[in-house]
Amino acid sequence: MCIILFVCNVCYSQTNCNVSLTSNCNPTGAGSQCVITGEPTINFTFESFGDFLTGGNVFGASILKMIVGENVAPLADCRWRLNVHMDNNGGLPTEWEQVYAYGTNTAPFPNVNILEMRLRNQCNTSLTGSNYATLATTANNIDVVESPGVSNNSGTCSATNVNRPGSYLNNFGEYSFAIDYRLQPTLNIQPGIYRLNVKFCITEGN
Amino acid sequence: MKNNPLRKALLALGAIVVSHAAFAQLQEEKNVTITMDLQPILQLKMEGPDQLDFTFDEINEYYAGIVKYGATILKVSSTVSFDLWAAGLSQGQEGSFLWDNPVEYAAPSAQAVDEIPLTALELRQFPANPSVAGGCVNTVALSSDYSAPFQPITIPGTSTMSAGNNTVYCPAPGTPYTAPTSTAVVGTSEKYIAGGTGVVANCSVIGGSYLIGGLNPNTSSYRYVMDYRILPNLPVTFPAHIPTNATNATAPYVTNADGASGLLANGSVYANPGVYTMYVKYILAQDQ
């Protein structure tokens, strides 16, 4: 029974987060930590024409805080990566999941790219900078911190892509991200209630 | 001892634990769910008085009618594709498809009846229904909207006029929100202000607003100026309602309203003097 559960957990993770073959960082719960605060569900309601024109924008609705520890032995370069992707419960990769339709009609579902996200912190370490980023399809992801063979240490608060061990407790501006969500619906799409799951993945980089 | 089952199980579990530790990695996932409630927004703004009075107290007004130019301006904002139409209705005091007659200046008689059909009211719109030019297969120019000019009486004694194309669409009073049935055939089509019958290509106006994109009142699909005309004639037969005077002579609402009225083209039965009322509903409906 233990083996079955373990295998299933791996399968699930692989579909959602990139898996590294190295183990130079502490696993979460054993030296590393990832915490998200804020409401688990963020609702946008568009009930006037003005709402459609202006769109919806919530600032700092989620705060992502991380601690990444490095294994002592074998001593190696621990680098981490953070990316964002979306899940629409098996819908077409470019569309939101429709939970409820207001009436019947043939208009298209909204595209996932109308949801924009900005991950920001005090030291501006995000690869997306201060810009809102979006995804054209659920098959893609937004790289916030990467590990392209380069190690960027924390503590200077002067560079992007800090990907070495550290903690939000010591360097909040480099190991935390406030997340803003912006949603700009388009006209002539099918009225209804839609859902999109946003996944924040922290994994060890290669 | 070597074959002790408990010992084997412990060894196996130990192997699993060791294996797990060897592949332990930094990997964590956090989830936030975004929900979006997109409600269909259909806003119709109507400028102009709520009540239009047509008072016929001069002979020339009977022959020429009274026109209220630009009495109503309709402005649309919609997030979905839409149709827009006018529905002429009454309370049905005198019967279906007939004006109400709250005040009689004299008692009705066999010749003077209080049976003015709702189609005595004519509308004219500007600009024309964009679905007609847009290629909606269920529309035909002029007959599927109110863009045609008002026509004059040519022979008063027989209630003859140049064929008009402006009588207000009037649904059955029990189903006032029934959409017109526009067709591609001159003679049978019922009228929309914008859009056409069916959820098919170009038979609706795509969502938008008079507020955005720079309003061009000559061409905007989101703003319509409505004129009203009532043409009594003498004797008072309201010739526009008579099917032979209407381009859409066989449109169901035209024949229904004409059938409900006892007015005769030769003037032998005419409208009784009095105060008559009806109302027009402008209906904006999703069509996608």
Residues B144-196 pLDDT 10s: 999 999 999 999 999 999 999 999 999 999 999 999 999 999 999 999 999 99
Taking the Cβ of residue A124 and every Cβ of chain B, the question of whether any pair is shorter than 8 Å is answered with no
Amino acid letter for position A146: E
Nearest Cα neighbor of A126 from A170, A166, A82 is A82
Q: Does A42 contact B35 at a Cβ distance shorter than 8 Å?
A: yes
Q: Give the gap in angstroms from C-alpha B72 to the nearest C-alpha of chain A.
A: 22
B192 in Cβ contact with B85 (< 8 Å): yes
Q: Does A191 contact B206 at a Cβ distance shorter than 8 Å?
A: no
Confidence of residue B275 (pLDDT cuts 50, 70, 90): very high
pLDDT, averaged across chain A: 88
A73 is in which domain, residue-wise? Answer: 3-204
Instruction: Show the 3-state SS of chain B.
Output: CCCCHHHHHHHHHHHHHHHHHHCCCCEEEEEEEEEEEECCCEEEEEECCCCCCCCCCCHHHHHHCEEEEEEEEEEEEECCCEEEEEEEECCCCCCCCECEEEEECCCCCCCEECCCEHHHEEEEEECCCHHHHHCCCCCCCCCCCCCCCCCCEEEHHHCEECCECCECCCCCCCCCCCCCCCCCCCCCCCCCCECCCCCCCCCCECCEECCCCCCCCCCCCCEEEEEEEECCCCCCCCHHHCHHHECCCCCHHHHHHHHHCCCCCCCCCEECCEEEECEEEEEEEECC
The pLDDT value given to residue B14: 44
pLDDT at B240 over 80: yes
Give B223's strand partners: B75
Chain position carrying tokens 């209080």: B114
Nearest Cα neighbor of A81 from A30, A138, A149, A172 is A149
CA-angle at B165, arms to B161 and B171, nearest 5°: 120
Confidence of residue A172 (pLDDT cuts 50, 70, 90): very high
Q: Does A110 contact B199 at a Cβ distance shorter than 8 Å?
A: no
Taking the Cβ of residue B38 and every Cβ of chain A, the question of whether any pair is shorter than 8 Å is answered with yes
Sign of CA dihedral B97, B102, B105, B107: positive
Q: Give the gap in angstroms from C-alpha B141 to the nearest C-alpha of chain A.
A: 26
Amino acid letter for position B195: G
pLDDT at B11 over 60: no
Q: How many CB pairs under 8 A join A and B?
A: 180
Chain B hits for A19, CB-CB cut-off 8 Å, are: 25, 27
pLDDT at B9 over 70: no
The pLDDT value given to residue A150: 86
Taking the Cβ of residue B286 and every Cβ of chain A, the question of whether any pair is shorter than 8 Å is answered with yes
Taking the Cβ of residue B6 and every Cβ of chain A, the question of whether any pair is shorter than 8 Å is answered with no
Look up the ipTM and state it.
0.86
Chain B hits for A25, CB-CB cut-off 8 Å, are: 25-26
The tally of domains found in chain A comes to 1
Q: Give the gap in angstroms from C-alpha A100 to the nearest C-alpha of chain B.
A: 9
- pLDDT tens digits along A88-136: 999 999 999 999 999 888 899 999 999 999 999 999 999 999 999 999 9
Global confidence as pTM: 0.84
